[in-house]
Amino acid sequence: METGKLQPIVWREEKLVLLDQRQLPGKKVFQELSRLEDVITAIKEMVVRGAPAIAISGCFALALEAKHRRGSFQFSDFEGLVKKVHSSRPTAVNLTFALNQARETVQNVSNWQQAYNLLVQFAIQLMEKDLKDNQTLGAEGTKLFPLEQNEFHVITHCNTGALATAGHGTALGVIRSLRDLGKKVVVYADETRPFLQGSRLTAFEMMEEGIECYIISDGMSGWLMNQRKIDAVLVGCDRVARNGDTANKIGTLNLAIVAKSFSVPFFVCATKDSFDLKLETGSSIPIEMRREEEVTQYDFLKDASGHPLLKPGMTSPLEARALNPSFDVTPNFLIQSFITEMGCFPPGEIQNRLKG
């Protein structure tokens, strides 16, 4: 499977190998995991992050647990494992869909060895499908740009590339695809407080790819759109409701409002598994709340031994309180188009495009 330079998820010798994204860009460290609980911890602690990557890792976690079980398969026990994995990151719907498919995969097996074999096969197929879908999505996204133009300036938020998926990426996948057409793309990456996925990960990916990239603070987009010609805002997503309301990394809503004010096209890049047609509007999307110290400190990123990965220090007074929602919801009227492997379309066409 051709994934490009960055492979954050690898299945090797019956173990799941994850690139520890908390330690980027300082160093590339891989964690080798052999138990379900280890994978759940890796998901919660953001060793692996990004909705597609979480879904793939969650399915490998089920396979790892099945490997250690003996005897006849008990579906009720498997349901308990699914619930554990699902609780690791509740906002992204990709994990929900993948776990539902995993249930169907093992519903007729008689023993845990059979379950293990089928779950490994399913997780690998899920990874291969995600890569293919991202490559198709990237190609579809280029159609929204005037290709007689040779240079494009885009703003991104969070990280939506190979590190968040099986490879290529969603929003960064469109950027890669434009580059592959011979276009110059200049990327402005929101730093994405408080976990800094934009400055740590997106900038890292763009440098690996040789794509020009400037880190901007999350509050700089208004100045940038006012001072320079921005061709588009490209973001990923974690869940899309039936009406097009979209949950994505906190700060996406602010960026969408600013883009609307300056008439800059705001595009959401999403594979089919990010659309949750069971939810009528974004008000029903669960929003994960994370630890306060991720906002009040900048030594919350630690390595496996508990040592800070950044210079220890406080960014606020001792005992200051903070709110730390991991996601916000951008209403459909701020979104010009969704970019998917099924083509590009506005929020009003979601139900027709996703039938069946």
Binding residues for substrate: 49-51, 89, 197, 248-249
Phi, psi of 337 (to 5 degrees): -160, 150
Residues of the binding site: 49-51, 89, 197, 248-249
Query: Which residues, other chains included, contact 12 with Cβ-Cβ below 8 Å and sequence gap of 6+?
Result: none
Is 238 noted as a catalytic residue in this protein? yes
Single-letter amino acid, residue 346: P
Annotated active-site residue in 38, 130, 238, 276: 238
Q: Find out whether 109 and 118 touch, Cβ atoms under 8 Å.
A: yes
Q: Find out whether 234 and 171 touch, Cβ atoms under 8 Å.
A: yes
Closest CA to 197 of 224, 229, 222, 169: 169
Query: Which residues, other chains included, contact 219 with Cβ-Cβ below 8 Å and sequence gap of 6+?
Result: none
Residue 169 CA to chain centroid, in angstroms?
A: 9
Distance between CA atoms of residues 31 and 19, nearest Å: 6
Q: What is the DSSP string of 221-241?
A: HHHHHHHS---EEEE--SEEE
Q: What is the CA radius of gyration of the chain?
A: 20
Q: Find out whether 233 and 154 touch, Cβ atoms under 8 Å.
A: yes
Distance between CA atoms of residues 36 and 151, nearest Å: 46
Q: Find out whether 218 and 194 touch, Cβ atoms under 8 Å.
A: no
> How many CB atoms sit inside 10 A of residue 323's CB?
9
Residue 254, both tokens:
């602010």
Residue 241, both tokens:
């409701």
Phi, psi of 306 (to 5 degrees): 90, 10
Distance between CA atoms of residues 198 and 96, nearest Å: 25
Residues designated as active site: 238
